[in-house]
A = this chain, B = another copy of it.
């Protein structure tokens, strides 16, 4: 069943005739060729998700009515923000798609000291819009109730370090920690974290984080952690973190 994220909240008495135009109407009408009585999920900005049925559909608009609320919980109980140093090629699009599937709450790209890719102001705006679109599509496909927030480019690690106070836990996945066989920090945090709390996890670009960047993060209270004995690529490590968090918090232990 298709899922659509709506931009406006609706009052209870508006749920008997929900009118949709624009891109989502186009998708239902032309791409999916939906007919009367087809059911879809509609998700509101609050995270409320309903099953709605098409009453009428024509070239201009589609009207739907509320059938039932979706009850199953879809969101990670912990709010995880992933910060990635700009990697090469289109890896960032991959990362955003996958972390959305795996339940991330937000994503912050940053210009790392060793990032080979550079974004100028104009490019950054376009790139962020593209990442927002990818997050929206992945959220629809993976049946989430929230689209992850894609933040503007942080131009240095300092901007990330300054945000430490906004989170309950701040971690850095650090290759040198993995090499030194550090294996306690991440698991310890996952044992302490409570539903509703916020975690920020920072990942360097391909070349890793510079010693000075690590120092800035440590000074701001970030904990360095290893993610097992193998060296994970920059685009793989965030998936490891989110998978482990889902396993610990969403599957019955």
A231 x B142 contact (CB < 8 A): yes
Q: Which residues of B contact A191 (CB under 8 A)?
A: 253
Give how many A residues have a beta carbon under 8 Å from the other chain's beta carbons.
38
Task: Return A174 CB to nearest CB of chain B, in Å.
Answer: 14
1/0 contact string of A217-253 vs chain B (CB within 8 Å): 0000000001111111100100110011011101111
Chain B: CB-nearest residue to A253: B187
A74 x B230 contact (CB < 8 A): yes
> Taking the full assembly, how many copies of this chain does it contain?
2
- Please, how many angstroms separate the alpha-carbon atoms of A191 and B252 in the complex? 11
Interface residues of A in 107-144 (CB under 8 A from B): 141-144
Task: Return A88 CB to nearest CB of chain B, in Å.
Answer: 14
- Interface residue? A103 (CB, 8 A): yes
Which of the listed residues A73, A98, A181 has the most CB atoms from chain B within 10 Å of its own CB?
Answer: A98
- Interface residue? A53 (CB, 8 A): no
- Interface residue? A102 (CB, 8 A): yes
A247 x B246 contact (CB < 8 A): no
1/0 contact string of A15-31 vs chain B (CB within 8 Å): 00000000000000000
Given contacts A103-B230, A240-B102, A244-B243, contact A251 B184 (CB under 8 A): yes
Which residues does A use to contact B, with CB under 8 Å? 72-74, 98, 101-103, 141-144, 181, 183-184, 186-188, 191, 226-233, 236, 239-240, 243-244, 246-248, 250-253
A229 x B183 contact (CB < 8 A): no
Q: Which residues of B contact A233 (CB under 8 A)?
A: 101, 141-142
B74 x A252 contact (CB < 8 A): no
